[in-house]
């Protein structure tokens, strides 16, 4: 078959692997220079599925071709395997996610600097957060006013969300003016990536028709990179599989890995870059013994208190599900707020738990968890998915934060402010009161956020995978610039942070 990039192959400067949140940003920013040629390689399709556009329909996307379809290994805390969806489409996970667009509290980025990631603190990232977004009516010193993403709070939030915010205020929590900003704590309406009632993915925002028409930018889709090719310590090219044929493409300048925290670790390992003993175990030639690859995997555990509503809740498919966020400190807080409350205008719960059709949920998450897991290879073949073990609630401190979260979520749910809409508390229900039944419920109700990060972390120590400029330590001309590089969890849903990481990476590469 004809390769759509034949005309460019002879002169590609940068190959960007993965057209997700970070890859879309990098391909767009690097190709702004007409003298630079960029090839963007994406495993998923360019086709937009109808459910992608409609904010409320994101859970449906997990059962489509736009999901890689992995599950975690059995988690020691819950005794169950948990679905591990990640986007496989142009736009990546930003084409399938829940659309909440919030920065973590500044303390969770400053914690990265404390771990050796100089240059990656909140103030360092602030111009890049701003560059990515356009918001209105906010403090322009903190928020962006001219970026590709259109973000803002839900214009007409669900009544249960409005009353939940009243409930939080009645309970004495601060009301934030802009909880998505990274500089406030308390409760407020969260921003989301919705433009004219439709999802705005990274590709919608950054890879519009005009950008894709640039003669120096090519995107090849349905093409899964199998290997990064390294010669004498320099990354020189990639091999991708498209319609059963393997194609090799070389890069004159650099290869930039933006395949997400699972995909980037998977591809480095499959290319022989990772912990040598593990690579040998699966029969891969070791190109570089880099022990941190695939380690330090983190995600946010989540669970809900679920209520039946007393009357049919207005259903607005163009609104996000999670509309309000609380960001507060509770037990074991080390780097600022460590508990997120998310008010969800839908009866969200673990798939195995019964619940009402018409209801709502107050979710809670240990948003700076201590638990760390890892990504490993199940096979030397890229056709076999990786072993994903986020180790949810593996650290007892995270369990304690979740216990505190359950209590606060219930206080909000049981408040006078919610009484008009509150029907039965369906989950966890009245029988879950003592410590052991709460612990049991945290396992049964484990939902998780799909905010995988950390598997190629930035830093200067032996377990860091990339240096402070995101170069893979020990290999020239290869960088990682996606959610993988986060040293520790940010106290928020991850997408906004990935945009800022990628924007900063573009500047570092263009230096």
Please, what is the minimum distance in Å from the beta carbon of residue 41 to ligand FAD?
5
How far is 124 from 109, CA to CA, in rounded Å?
9
Please, what is the minimum distance in Å from the beta carbon of residue 170 to ligand FAD?
27
Backbone angles phi, psi at 500, to 5 degrees: -65, -40
Q: Which of 297, 294, 340, 291 is nearest to 488 (CA)?
A: 297
Residues of span 335-354 touching ligand FAD by CB under 6 A: none
How far is 294 from 274, CA to CA, in rounded Å?
8
Residue 134 or 411 with smaller CB distance to ligand FAD: 134
Does 94 bind ligand FAD (CB under 6 A)? Our answer is yes
Does 249 bind ligand FAD (CB under 6 A)? Our answer is no
Distances (CA, A) of 128 to 131, 161, 211, 497: 5, 30, 20, 9
Distances (CA, A) of 392 to 75, 298, 330, 348: 7, 8, 19, 19
Please, what is the minimum distance in Å from the beta carbon of residue 398 to ligand FAD?
19
At 52, list the tokens.
Answer: 């992608």
DSSP letter at 22 equals H
Tell me whether strands 374-376 and 359-366 are parallel, antiparallel or unpaired: unpaired
CA 437 to chain CA mean position, Å: 31
How far is 299 from 494, CA to CA, in rounded Å?
9
> Mapping DSSP to helix (H, G, I), strand (E, B) and coil, where does residue 422 land?
strand
Please, what is the minimum distance in Å from the beta carbon of residue 404 to ligand FAD?
23
Backbone angles phi, psi at 338, to 5 degrees: -130, 10
How far is 104 from 448, CA to CA, in rounded Å?
17
Query: Does 238 count as an annotated binding residue?
Result: no
> Which of residues 26, 27, 30, 42 is near ligand FAD by CB under 6 A?
42
> Mapping DSSP to helix (H, G, I), strand (E, B) and coil, where does residue 252 land?
coil
Look up tokens 């809409």; give the residue.
Answer: 421
In the complex, which residue's CB is closest to ligand FAD? 20
Residue 203 or 415 with smaller CB distance to ligand FAD: 203
Residue 53 or 169 with smaller CB distance to ligand FAD: 53
Does 267 bind ligand FAD (CB under 6 A)? Our answer is yes
* Contact flags string 463-482 toward ligand FAD, x per CB under 6 A: -------------------x
Region near ligand FAD per CB under 6 A, out of 154-162, 209-217, 396-404, 491-499: 491-499
Region near ligand FAD per CB under 6 A, out of 49-57, 205-213, 259-267, 424-432: 259-267
Do 269 and 377 form a contact (C-beta atoms < 8 A)? yes
Please, what is the minimum distance in Å from the beta carbon of residue 459 to ligand FAD?
18
> Which of residues 153, 157, 260, 347 is near ligand FAD by CB under 6 A?
260
Region near ligand FAD per CB under 6 A, out of 86-94, 113-121, 303-311, 402-410: 86-94
> Which of residues 12, 27, 78, 98 is near ligand FAD by CB under 6 A?
98
How far is 115 from 24, CA to CA, in rounded Å?
28
> Which of residues 173, 494, 505, 509 is near ligand FAD by CB under 6 A?
494
Please, what is the minimum distance in Å from the beta carbon of residue 38 to ligand FAD?
15
Q: Which of 113, 110, 192 is nearest to 156 (CA)?
A: 192
451: annotated active-site residue = yes
Residues of span 187-246 touching ligand FAD by CB under 6 A: 224-225
How far is 337 from 106, CA to CA, in rounded Å?
10
Does 500 bind ligand FAD (CB under 6 A)? Our answer is no
Does 390 bind ligand FAD (CB under 6 A)? Our answer is no
Does 258 bind ligand FAD (CB under 6 A)? Our answer is yes
Does 100 bind ligand FAD (CB under 6 A)? Our answer is yes
Does 97 bind ligand FAD (CB under 6 A)? Our answer is yes
Please, what is the minimum distance in Å from the beta carbon of residue 34 to ligand FAD?
25
Q: What is the DSSP string of 381-412?
A: STTSPPEEE--TT-SHHHHHHHHHHHHHHHHH
* Contact flags string 2-31 toward ligand FAD, x per CB under 6 A: ---------------xxxxxxx--------
Reduce the secondary structure of 124-162 to three states and give it as a string.
HHHHHHHHHEECCCCCCCCCCECCCEECEECCCCCHHHH
Does 185 bind ligand FAD (CB under 6 A)? Our answer is no
Region near ligand FAD per CB under 6 A, out of 180-188, 256-264, 398-406, 469-477: 256-264
> Which of residues 55, 87, 186, 237 is near ligand FAD by CB under 6 A?
87
Query: Does 449 count as an annotated binding residue?
Result: yes
Q: Which of 177, 198, 305, 203 is nearest to 258 (CA)?
A: 203
DSSP letter at 34 equals T
How far is 103 from 504, CA to CA, in rounded Å?
15
Look up tokens 């495993």; give the residue.
Answer: 43
Catalytic one of 266, 278, 300, 451: 451
Residues in contact with 214: Cβ distance below 8 Å, sequence separation at least 6, in sequence order: 31, 34
Residue 206 or 421 with smaller CB distance to ligand FAD: 206
Does 130 bind ligand FAD (CB under 6 A)? Our answer is no
Size of the site for ligand FAD (CB under 6 A): 40
Please, what is the minimum distance in Å from the beta carbon of residue 453 to ligand FAD?
7
Does 88 bind ligand FAD (CB under 6 A)? Our answer is yes
Instruction: Compute how many other C-beta atoms are within 10 angstroms of the C-beta atom of residue 389.
Output: 21
Indicate which residues carry an active-site annotation: 451
Q: Which residues are annotated as a binding site for FAD?
A: 225
Q: List the binding residues.
A: 225, 449
**Site residues for ligand FAD per CB under 6 A:** 17-23, 41-44, 85-89, 92-94, 96-100, 224-225, 258-260, 263, 267, 450-451, 482-483, 493-496, 498
């Amino acid at each position: 078959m004809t390769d759509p990039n034949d005309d460019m192959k002879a002169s590609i400067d940068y190959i960007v692997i993965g057209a997700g949140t970070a890859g879309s940003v990098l391909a767009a920013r690097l190709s702004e220079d007409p003298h630079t040629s960029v090839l963007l390689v994406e495993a998923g399709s360019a086709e937009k599925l109808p459910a992608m556009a409609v904010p409320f329909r994101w859970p449906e996307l997990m059962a489509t071709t736009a999901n890689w379809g992995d599950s975690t290994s059995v988690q020691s805390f819950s005794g169950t395997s948990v679905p591990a969806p990640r986007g496989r489409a142009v736009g990546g996970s930003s084409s399938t996610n829940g659309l909440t667009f919030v920065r973590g509290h500044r303390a969770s980025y400053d914690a990265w600097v404390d771990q050796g990631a100089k240059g990656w603190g909140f103030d360092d990232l602030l111009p890049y957060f701003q560059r990515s977004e356009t918001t209105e009516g906010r403090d322009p010193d903190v928020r962006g006013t001219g970026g590709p993403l259109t973000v803002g709070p839900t214009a007409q939030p669900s009544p249960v969300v409005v009353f939940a915010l009243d409930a939080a205020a009645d309970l004495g929590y601060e009301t934030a003016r802009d909880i998505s900003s990274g500089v406030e704590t308390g409760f407020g309406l969260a921003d989301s990536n919705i433009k004219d009632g439709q999802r705005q993915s990274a590709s919608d925002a950054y890879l519009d028709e005009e950008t894709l028409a640039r003669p120096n930018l090519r995107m090849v889709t349905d093409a899964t990179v199998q290997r990064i090719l390294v010669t004498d310590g320099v990354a020189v090219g990639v091999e991708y599989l498209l319609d059963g044929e393997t194609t090799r493409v070389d890069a004159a300048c650099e290869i930039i890995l933006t395949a997400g925290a699972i995909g980037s670790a998977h591809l480095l390992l499959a290319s022989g870059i990772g912990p040598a003993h593990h690579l040998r175990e699966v029969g891969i030639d070791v190109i570089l013994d880099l022990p941190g690859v695939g380690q330090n995997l983190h995600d946010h555990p989540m669970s809900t208190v679920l209520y039946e509503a007393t009357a049919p809740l207005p259903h607005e498919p163009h609104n996000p599900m999670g509309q309000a966020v609380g960001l507060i400190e509770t037990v074991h807080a080390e780097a600022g707020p460590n508990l997120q409350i998310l008010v969800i205008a839908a009866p969200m719960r673990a798939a195995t738990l019964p619940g009402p059709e018409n209801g709502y949920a107050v979710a809670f998450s240990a948003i700076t968890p201590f638990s760390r897991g890892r990504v490993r290879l199940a096979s030397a073949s890229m056709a076999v998915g990786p072993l994903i073990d986020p180790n949810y609630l593996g650290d007892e401190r995270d369990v304690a934060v979740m216990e505190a979260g359950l209590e606060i979520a219930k206080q909000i749910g049981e408040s006078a402010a919610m009484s008009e809409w509150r029907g039965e508390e369906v989950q966890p229900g009245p029988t879950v009161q003592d410590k052991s039944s709460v612990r049991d419920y945290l396992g049964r109700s484990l939902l998780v956020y799909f905010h995988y990060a950390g598997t190629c972390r930035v830093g200067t120590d032996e377990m860091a995978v990339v240096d402070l400029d995101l170069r893979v330590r020990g290999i020239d001309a290869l960088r990682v610039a996606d959610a993988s590089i986060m040293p520790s969890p940010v106290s928020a849903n991850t997408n906004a942070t990935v945009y800022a990481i990628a924007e900063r990476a573009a500047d570092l590469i263009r230096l």
